[in-house]
Amino acid sequence: ESNPPTPDIHAHDVPSLAKSGLSTSAFQIGDKPAAFRQRSGSGLGNAPLKSIVEDLKDKSRAITPIASPGSESGNPFSRFASIASPGNLTPLNGASTPANGHNGHNGITSPRKYQTTHPEIQFAARIQRKQSRSSSRRPERDSPIINGGSYQPWHIEFNSHCNGGLKNAVDSVGDRLKQKLWVGTLGTGTDSFGETVRSNIDERMKEQHCSLPVWIPDDEFESCYDEFCHQVLWPCLHYAVPDAPKTKLFYESASFKQYVSVNQRFADAIIANYQEGDIIWVNDYHLMLLPSLLRASPLLSNAPIGFFLHVAFPSSEIFRCLSVRESLLRGLLAADLVGFQTVNYARHFRQTVSRILALEALPKGIQVETGGTGRFVDVGVIPMGIDVNALREKKREPDVSYWVQLLRQRYAGMKIVVGRDKLDEVQGVRHKIQAFEQFLDKHPEFQQKVVLIQVALQTTESNELAGGVADIVSRINSRFSTLTYQPVVFLHTQEVTFSQYLALLSVADAFLVTSLREGMALRTHEFVECQEGRHRPLILSEFTGSYSYSGFRSCIAINPYDSRGTAKAIYQALTMSDEEALSRWKDLHNHVVTQTAQTFVTSFLTRCLRANTEHIIQSDLSVVPQLDTASLLPRYKHSAKRLLLLDFEGAIWQRDMTRAGLLAPFEAPKEALALLNKFAEDPMNEVWLLSGLPVKGVMDKVAAEAPNVGIVAENGCFIRTRPNRKEKASWINVVSNFNFTWKASCVEILNYFTERTPGAFVEEREASVVWRFWTGPVTDCADRQWARRQAAEAQNHIFDSLGERYGLRIIPGANSFLVLPNNISRSTAVGAILHPGGPAHSPLSGRSVWMSHDPTEGDGVHDELDFVFAVGGDEKLLRRLNDLDNAETCSTSRKGTGAKWKLEPKDAIEVLSRFANVR
Ligand SMILES: O=P(O)(O)OC[C@H]1O[C@H](O[C@H]2O[C@H](CO)[C@@H](O)[C@H](O)[C@H]2O)[C@H](O)[C@@H](O)[C@@H]1O
């Protein structure tokens, strides 16, 4: 539908394992769901219309029991809440779950933590008792678990406590992901499971659910997940600075040991199941060490490994507080790709790595030095989205319409504000209720006319307590309730089915998100989609990942810490005209249908594979053969139309790279010119010289001395045509329409860094800028390391302040980097040269067509060429040319390469002269 096309993933791209993280098993072990179905039958799920409001009111009071466990037994709802509180162990929901882990089940949960704190019901709790959302989905039964001599039946069912967004996303690409294996933990304690049961479960999970359970002792899991993940990492990643009592935990958590151990168990399970060609996709902060533990296995040293962080990543000032900060960062840097939801999180990560590990953090990723060989880790921004098509289908189900009608009747004449959040501090639910109270105070005309329906996702008991929601809900309800009105209706997710939730989103007059920090917030995307035809506004915290996307700027933005501002926003939303609401909704919707779950999955996997291929190529020069003149010279000789693409600097000209040499006036190198002219003398040759140097004073001098050679200057910004019978050679400015106001700012930034970097200097060219940050000997020393770190900082500054605005890219080198317009490169220039309408063949016309032309595409003039010979260091160009028939590519970079041949630059003139002299 409106989704953009996403690339097909073929079998060879995505083979048998797309592995995920701790939170990956979509299934859990459960028993006797029927008993709990009965219990929940009195809830919203099966309730007649007349009982809805009472039912909601009753449920809303169930929020308090965490604070008062002693009173649980008499109140069935308090028992619900107590059992349901901690530990969202397994992450994946069924296909129709909402994106953010909303479970929509009517049953109750039996989190792992519960069994350890309540030994008397240990077994009962260990066996999951959650019901599947879909009543038609029959539980699968198998051989019984033996406990204390008695047989207990078990079955597998979909788990509601997982990252539903991830599961939906992976499901959304359907068959394009030919084979996959989820690796995760079961949503229940497993200590009492005997070997037979475990192997039964293993077998069933693999065969029927494409899942590989990782078996973790209960206490180890609890310590890792409830303590390290949720009390240390989660707050830190969400920018929460610890208060005094928690500080020790934060800095020195002993539970890190269990975190390491859980990560190791995942690594062992994956390594044992790994097959050549698999891609490993690690998800979220629970498994930050996993990439390095996997990489340590010789079997996986070259495997494609990607890591995606679903939650936020804070500023380095916060992350550096963690005592285990280095281990976590190094754990991630073993991946080929580390993906984030937003540009800011990615930038924070790069800066954190640069500041804590003193590695070079470049706009595109991190340069990691390992034992003398460089490795580049891609850092990507790959935002999560929702499966719009699946949601549309779900919305069309009769159950949803039924609930829409019921809600409309029930709340006729009232406005409905909806929210759905985890009940911990970071989600800002307390702030939300406070703001709602202020709104009712400020606008008494809305009292009894508006209801806030807040759906609460579970979190750990202590997080929920810290969220401090219970008291404030009680306060506002006691202040404003009447016999027939209650302003805040509070529901735990297990009390609302997904259909009911979609109905709520559809009838809502506003959706309110007050997160103090959040990775993305996909529930806002669901709201927008459900508002098709209604278009009411979204009130969104500026601190969510979703808000950082331009389409979402059409929400009503709030600072959740400013409750007065939020109260105002609620008023604005409820009184907004339909025209304004529609126009805002269109922007929001456009974003939701563009940045989809499908795009997320395909972009992540494609990028991970690409990064991996590049890393492998770059890491091994030894496998590339030396240019074999014995086999190539005869082919050259017997070809009738040849194209020669020769790099200048670093290939046929060994430039003096000392400071003095670089600053000296340019003198055209004699040997290189002689070679070019010799080649150009042969009428069967079309010769092109490719350079990064400017036209003025440099390449124009070359042109004067090698008049029959075509020239690409400034990496493709300028092209000098070859003369032909009809026309003289001339320079073409490829970037004549570009805006170059960025150059002044760029130079200003670089001047700042130049002052702090001994020996550095700026080279301003016509359309690009080079910063030479090191001109001393190319051996590692403290000064060079300093210069490289300065260069990384400078690149980040330029990229962040000018990159996106002016469409710039930065090409990092060993001792310098280059800033130039996007979409301009030697590859685009060669594409233009090869194009039938390009400068090599006819007077220029239609620049825009050939500027973006792929040299390997189409049926242009290169079809006639019977020998294409490219020698140089532009890796991208060399690899693209490999796709041409008759192309011989040769790298002079002395680095790992995808070229067919390699050649020492010092030998280039001598070796190439043998070709030039062939007649
Ligand atoms: O509670 P956890 O097991 O520790 O898991 C953390 C959260 O993961 C999921 O949310 C995150 O991913 C979503 C999709 O990328 C994103 O929209 C959200 O902002 C992130 O926080 C899960 O949906 C949450 O329930 C978990 O709390």
> 775 with 759: CB under 8 angstroms?
yes
**Position 444 pLDDT exceeds 90:** yes
88 lines ligand 1 (CB under 6 A): yes
**Position 438 pLDDT exceeds 50:** yes
Say how many residues make up the chain.
919
Of the pLDDT bands very low, low, confident and very high (cuts 50, 70, 90), residue 80 is very low
Q: Whose CA is nearest to atom 1 of ligand 1?
A: 88
The pLDDT of residue 62: 34
Q: Whose CA is nearest to atom 15 of ligand 1?
A: 310
Query: How are strands ordered across the β-sheet holding 18-19?
Result: 18-19, 279-283, 305-308, 337-340, 373-381, 365-370, 360-362
Average pLDDT over residues 220-238: 91
Question: Measured in angstroms, how far is the CA atom of residue 593 from the centroid of ligand 1?
Answer: 21
Question: Measured in angstroms, how far is the CA atom of residue 19 from the centroid of ligand 1?
Answer: 18
597 lines ligand 1 (CB under 6 A): no
**Position 375 pLDDT exceeds 70:** yes
> 357 with 389: CB under 8 angstroms?
no
23 lines ligand 1 (CB under 6 A): yes
519 lines ligand 1 (CB under 6 A): yes
Question: Measured in angstroms, how far is the CA atom of residue 388 from the centroid of ligand 1?
Answer: 19
Of the pLDDT bands very low, low, confident and very high (cuts 50, 70, 90), residue 463 is low
Question: Measured in angstroms, how far is the CA atom of residue 860 from the centroid of ligand 1?
Answer: 50
Residue 641 is given by DSSP the state S
Average pLDDT over residues 812-832: 90
Question: Measured in angstroms, how far is the CA atom of residue 522 from the centroid of ligand 1?
Answer: 9
Alpha-carbon distance 232 to 895, whole Å? 42
**What is the interface pTM, i.e. ipTM, of the complex?**
0.95
> 311 with 517: CB under 8 angstroms?
no
Average pLDDT over residues 173-194: 90
385 lines ligand 1 (CB under 6 A): no
pLDDT in tens, 101-148: 333 332 222 333 322 222 222 222 222 322 222 233 334 445 555 555
422 lines ligand 1 (CB under 6 A): yes
| Rounded alpha-carbon distances, angstroms, from residue 3 to 13, 292, 384, 386 | 22, 35, 14, 11
Average pLDDT over residues 458-472: 71
520 lines ligand 1 (CB under 6 A): yes
- Mention every residue, 6+ apart, whose C-beta is less than 8 A from residue 237: 285, 309, 311, 312, 313, 314, 319
Q: Which of 231, 182, 225, 259 is nearest to 21 (CA)?
A: 182
Looking up tokens 């990543």 gives 313
Q: Whose CA is nearest to atom 12 of ligand 1?
A: 310
Of the pLDDT bands very low, low, confident and very high (cuts 50, 70, 90), residue 376 is confident
| Alpha carbons within 13 A on the beta-carbon side of 53 | 14
Question: Measured in angstroms, how far is the CA atom of residue 88 from the centroid of ligand 1?
Answer: 10
Identify residue 891 by its one-letter amino acid code.
S
pLDDT in tens, 718-760: 999 998 877 899 999 999 999 999 999 999 999 999 999 999 9
Q: How many other C-beta atoms can be found within 10 angstroms of the C-beta atom of residue 876?
A: 12
Of the pLDDT bands very low, low, confident and very high (cuts 50, 70, 90), residue 159 is confident
Q: pLDDT exceeding 70 applies to what percent of the chain?
A: 77
Question: Measured in angstroms, how far is the CA atom of residue 210 from the centroid of ligand 1?
Answer: 22
Q: Where is average pLDDT lowest: 22-36, 117-131, 204-218, 728-742?
A: 117-131
105 lines ligand 1 (CB under 6 A): no
644 lines ligand 1 (CB under 6 A): no
78 lines ligand 1 (CB under 6 A): no
Q: Which of 273, 323, 319, 313 is nearest to 294 (CA)?
A: 273
**Position 64 pLDDT exceeds 50:** no
463 lines ligand 1 (CB under 6 A): no
Please indicate whether residue 663 or residue 846 has the higher confidence score (pLDDT). 663
Q: Whose CA is nearest to atom 8 of ligand 1?
A: 163
Q: Where are the alpha helices (DSSP H) in 766-873?
A: 782-798, 804-806, 826-834, 847-851
Average pLDDT over residues 420-428: 88
The pLDDT of residue 462: 64
Q: Which of 816, 821, 787 is nearest to 806 (CA)?
A: 821
Q: Which of 221, 259, 308, 311, when mutated, tests ligand 1's pocket best, judged by the most ligand atoms within 8 Å of its CB?
A: 311
Average pLDDT over residues 808-831: 90
Average pLDDT over residues 567-585: 98
Q: Whose CA is nearest to atom 3 of ligand 1?
A: 88
Average pLDDT over residues 429-453: 96
Q: Whose CA is nearest to atom 2 of ligand 1?
A: 88
Give the number of the atom of ligand 1 that is nearest the alpha carbon of residue 91: 3
Question: Measured in angstroms, how far is the CA atom of residue 218 from the centroid of ligand 1?
Answer: 22
Average pLDDT over residues 599-624: 87
Compute the mean pLDDT over every residue in the chain, rounded to the nearest whole number. 80
Q: Whose CA is nearest to atom 9 of ligand 1?
A: 163
423 lines ligand 1 (CB under 6 A): no
Q: Whose CA is nearest to atom 23 of ligand 1?
A: 100
618 lines ligand 1 (CB under 6 A): no
pLDDT in tens, 298-316: 999 999 999 999 999 999 9
Cα R_g (the chain), whole angstroms: 31
Of the pLDDT bands very low, low, confident and very high (cuts 50, 70, 90), residue 800 is confident
310 lines ligand 1 (CB under 6 A): yes
Average pLDDT over residues 29-55: 27
The pLDDT of residue 408: 95
The pLDDT of residue 243: 63
Alpha-carbon distance 624 to 892, whole Å? 11
Question: Measured in angstroms, how far is the CA atom of residue 220 from the centroid of ligand 1?
Answer: 22
Question: Measured in angstroms, how far is the CA atom of residue 367 from the centroid of ligand 1?
Answer: 29
**Position 786 pLDDT exceeds 80:** yes
Q: Where are the alpha helices (DSSP H) in 511-646?
A: 522-530, 563-575, 578-594, 597-619, 629-637
**Position 586 pLDDT exceeds 60:** yes
Question: Measured in angstroms, how far is the CA atom of residue 188 from the centroid of ligand 1?
Answer: 19
Q: pLDDT exceeding 90 applies to what percent of the chain?
A: 59
Give the number of the atom of ligand 1 that is nearest the alpha carbon of residue 544: 19
**Position 7 pLDDT exceeds 60:** no
Of the pLDDT bands very low, low, confident and very high (cuts 50, 70, 90), residue 857 is very low
Question: Measured in angstroms, how far is the CA atom of residue 547 from the centroid of ligand 1?
Answer: 16
Please indicate whether residue 92 or residue 533 has the higher confidence score (pLDDT). 533
Q: What is the pTM of this model?
A: 0.73
pLDDT in tens, 532-553: 999 999 999 999 999 999 889 9
**Position 904 pLDDT exceeds 90:** yes
Please indicate whether residue 836 or residue 305 has the higher confidence score (pLDDT). 305
110 lines ligand 1 (CB under 6 A): no
Residue 512 is given by DSSP the state E
525 lines ligand 1 (CB under 6 A): no
Of the pLDDT bands very low, low, confident and very high (cuts 50, 70, 90), residue 247 is low
311 lines ligand 1 (CB under 6 A): yes
Give the number of the atom of ligand 1 that is nearest the alpha carbon of residue 89: 3
> 514 with 92: CB under 8 angstroms?
no
Question: Measured in angstroms, how far is the CA atom of residue 275 from the centroid of ligand 1?
Answer: 29
The pLDDT of residue 241: 66
Alpha-carbon distance 847 to 851, whole Å? 6
Average pLDDT over residues 187-195: 89
Of the pLDDT bands very low, low, confident and very high (cuts 50, 70, 90), residue 251 is low
100 lines ligand 1 (CB under 6 A): yes
Question: Measured in angstroms, how far is the CA atom of residue 437 from the centroid of ligand 1?
Answer: 28
Please indicate whether residue 3 or residue 510 has the higher confidence score (pLDDT). 510
89 lines ligand 1 (CB under 6 A): no
| Rounded alpha-carbon distances, angstroms, from residue 334 to 13, 327, 346, 370, 611 | 21, 11, 16, 10, 12
**Position 150 pLDDT exceeds 80:** no
513 lines ligand 1 (CB under 6 A): no
Question: Measured in angstroms, how far is the CA atom of residue 100 from the centroid of ligand 1?
Answer: 6
Q: Where is average pLDDT lowest: 229-238, 310-319, 455-464, 643-652?
A: 455-464
Please indicate whether residue 596 or residue 494 has the higher confidence score (pLDDT). 596
Q: Whose CA is nearest to atom 5 of ligand 1?
A: 163
129: Cα separation from own chain's centroid: 34
Question: Measured in angstroms, how far is the CA atom of residue 165 from the centroid of ligand 1?
Answer: 8
Average pLDDT over residues 84-110: 29
Please indicate whether residue 847 or residue 716 has the higher confidence score (pLDDT). 716
Question: Measured in angstroms, how far is the CA atom of residue 909 from the centroid of ligand 1?
Answer: 58
Question: Measured in angstroms, how far is the CA atom of residue 733 from the centroid of ligand 1?
Answer: 50
Q: Which of 227, 230, 307, 310, when mutated, tests ligand 1's pocket best, judged by the most ligand atoms within 8 Å of its CB?
A: 310
Residue 816 is given by DSSP the state E
Q: Which of 25, 162, 163, when mutated, tests ligand 1's pocket best, judged by the most ligand atoms within 8 Å of its CB?
A: 163
Of the pLDDT bands very low, low, confident and very high (cuts 50, 70, 90), residue 826 is very high
Alpha-carbon distance 882 to 891, whole Å? 12
The pLDDT of residue 620: 73
